[in-house]
Amino acid sequence: MVTSEPKAFIKKMQKTATLITAAGGLVKNKKKECLFIYRNDRWDLPKGKLEKLERPRAGAVREVEEECGIEIYKSGKKICKTYHAYTMKGQVVLKKTHWYKMTYKGGGKLKPQLEEGITEVRFFEKGNMQEILANTFPLIEEVMEKTGLIKGSQAQPSV
Is 12 part of any domain? yes
Least confident of 7-21, 78-92, 136-150: 7-21
Sheet strands (E) in the chain: 18-28, 34-39, 42-44, 47-49, 74-88, 91-103, 118-124
How many structural domains is the chain composed of? 1
- Looking at the whole model, is its pTM more than 0.85? yes
Is 80 part of any domain? yes
Is 117 part of any domain? yes
The average confidence (pLDDT) of the chain is 90
pLDDT tens digits for 56-107? 999 999 999 999 999 999 999 999 999 888 888 988 899 999 999 999 998 7
pLDDT at 153: 52
Is 113 part of any domain? yes
